[in-house]
Amino acid sequence: METIEIFKDLAIIIVAAKCFGLLAGKLHAPQVVGEIIAGLIIGPSVLGLVAQNDFLTRMAEIGVVLLMFLAGLETDIRDLLKTGPIAFLVACAGVFLPLVMGSVLYGCFYGWDAVGTDGFYRAVFIGTIMTATSVSITVQSLRELGHLKGKVGTTIVSAAIIDDVIGIIVLTFVIGFKNPDSQPGMVIVNTLLFFVISAVLGIVFYFFFKFMSNRYPHHRRTPIYGLALCFLLSYMAEKFFGIADITGAYLAGIILCSVQDSKYIARKMDVSSYMLFGPVFFASIGLKTTIDGLTPEILLFSLCFILVALVGKIIGCGLVAKLCRFSNKDSLKVGIGMMTRGEVALIVSQKGLAVGMMDPVYFTSVILLIMVSSIATPILLKILYRGETPSDTPDTKAPEVLTPESAQA
């Protein structure tokens, strides 16, 4: 492939992704769904304008790493600690129930395999995909309703953030266990070692970045060194510990999320991400999605998959909220609020595809899950919040990280 061809590919990808993203927005679906569909349409399955290639694969990998870095950066550790106990229980139930129910669903469809076999891990992987709530979709839904700062809102957001962490740990374990060369014991040791080393590095880098952002507030060097830390931990995680690179990227975000300039860093990352790397990542998922294999069986599976994923979160999270003395209505809000899925489910799926634990056909199920949950959640929350006065004042309503352009307008 000639170098000049990349400009054609990139131009088509970013225009198509934006147009379909906006179209999705008009239909009250998240833009990300539109971007994936754009990839599907310009890709080999429909128009054949752009073919997946080595360069795009690498751009997409940078894209997913940037997204997870951003997710880490958006974490507010104080909020996390404040609503901690309840949110932690909600998150655990919200991870555990869908994980088990998803695995059982796969077993119902494709038979039951012994623990440790390939089929077993494929089943567990379907459950793993269901675990992570999408922080950005949850936050955006609550912000639109003006209930981001209330008790329910904070619990949902904290729990969504915690379940991201748990989801990534589950993913790391699942991928680690699957690796035929490694022993489960080694995986645990490796994982612990990685987190210990990350913690040590994290403390060192936290103080370095704290110093940097106090000494040179809003200087370009801070986000640039931040990006380097993200790349470094991504590399280390995968190269030396056999852990997903996105885990490293997410940890880099967590390390930096409480330094003074974290929002400034996030804003710079967000621009790089949404201008080019993000659309390439989401479109490349569409480019890879095969709809040739969409048999009636897969379609039926998709419907059950969606039902299980949504019900798993509602029951798991709602029940724990109820046990923690939330009212019936508020418990339902927590359950509904936690059922949105987004980028993380796709990231997990792509990882599963990369290590051979998932077939590309299931992307369709994941895309449908994201679409259904992202449309259903805001509508259902709107109904549940009907008649209540918004708890957010205009100035606390919109955390600027998610729409940095508004902050710069």
Per CB under 8 A, residues contacting a second copy are 3-8, 10-11, 14-15, 18, 22, 54-55, 57-58, 61-62, 65, 217-221, 223-225, 227-229, 231-232, 234-235, 238-239, 245, 267-269, 271-272, 274-276, 279, 405-406, 408-409
Q: What is the 3-state secondary structure (H, E, C) of the chain?
A: CCCCHHHHHHHHHHHHHHHHHHHHHHCCCCHHHHHHHHHHHHCCCCCCCCCCCHHHHHHHHHHHHHHHHHHHHHCCHHHHHHCHHHHHHHHHHHHHHHHHHHHHHHHHHHCCCCCCCHHHHHHHHHHHHHHCCCHHHHHHHHHHHCCCCCHHHHHHHHHHHHHHHHHHHHHHHHHHHHCCCCCHHHHHHHHHHHHHHHHHHHHHHHHHHHHHHHHCCCCCHHHHHHHHHHHHHHHHHHHHHCCCHHHHHHHHHHHHCCCCCHHHHHHHHHHHHHHHHHHHHHHHHHHHCCCCCCCHHHHHHHHHHHHHHHHHHHHHHHHHHHHCCCCHHHHHHHHHHCCCCCHHHHHHHHHHHHCCCCCCCHHHHHHHHHHHHHHHHHHHHHHHCCCCCCCCCHHHHCCCCCCHHHHHC
Distance CA 255, CA 43 (A): 37
Looking at beta carbons only, is 58 or 329 nearer to a second copy? 58
Taking the complex as a whole, the smallest distance from the CB of residue 113 to a second copy amounts, in Å, to 30
Looking at beta carbons only, is 269 or 309 nearer to a second copy? 269
CB within 8 A of 210, min separation 6: which ones?
259, 260
Taking the complex as a whole, the smallest distance from the CB of residue 375 to a second copy amounts, in Å, to 22
Taking the complex as a whole, the smallest distance from the CB of residue 171 to a second copy amounts, in Å, to 17
- Give backbone dihedrals phi and psi of 142, rounded to 5 degrees, phi first: -65, -35
Distance CA 94, CA 125 (A): 16
Looking at beta carbons only, is 292 or 405 nearer to a second copy? 405
Taking the complex as a whole, the smallest distance from the CB of residue 403 to a second copy amounts, in Å, to 9
Task: Count CB atoms within 10 A of the CB of residue 101.
Answer: 21
Looking at beta carbons only, is 74 or 163 nearer to a second copy? 74
Looking at beta carbons only, is 170 or 237 nearer to a second copy? 237
Distance CA 207, CA 210 (A): 5
Looking at beta carbons only, is 21 or 167 nearer to a second copy? 21
Taking the complex as a whole, the smallest distance from the CB of residue 406 to a second copy amounts, in Å, to 8
Taking the complex as a whole, the smallest distance from the CB of residue 160 to a second copy amounts, in Å, to 24
Taking the complex as a whole, the smallest distance from the CB of residue 244 to a second copy amounts, in Å, to 11
Looking at beta carbons only, is 45 or 272 nearer to a second copy? 272
Taking the complex as a whole, the smallest distance from the CB of residue 259 to a second copy amounts, in Å, to 16
Looking at beta carbons only, is 234 or 373 nearer to a second copy? 234
Looking at beta carbons only, is 102 or 223 nearer to a second copy? 223
Task: Count CB atoms within 10 A of the CB of residue 240.
Answer: 12
Taking the complex as a whole, the smallest distance from the CB of residue 194 to a second copy amounts, in Å, to 15
Task: Count CB atoms within 10 A of the CB of residue 298.
Answer: 18
Looking at beta carbons only, is 113 or 238 nearer to a second copy? 238
Taking the complex as a whole, the smallest distance from the CB of residue 22 to a second copy amounts, in Å, to 7
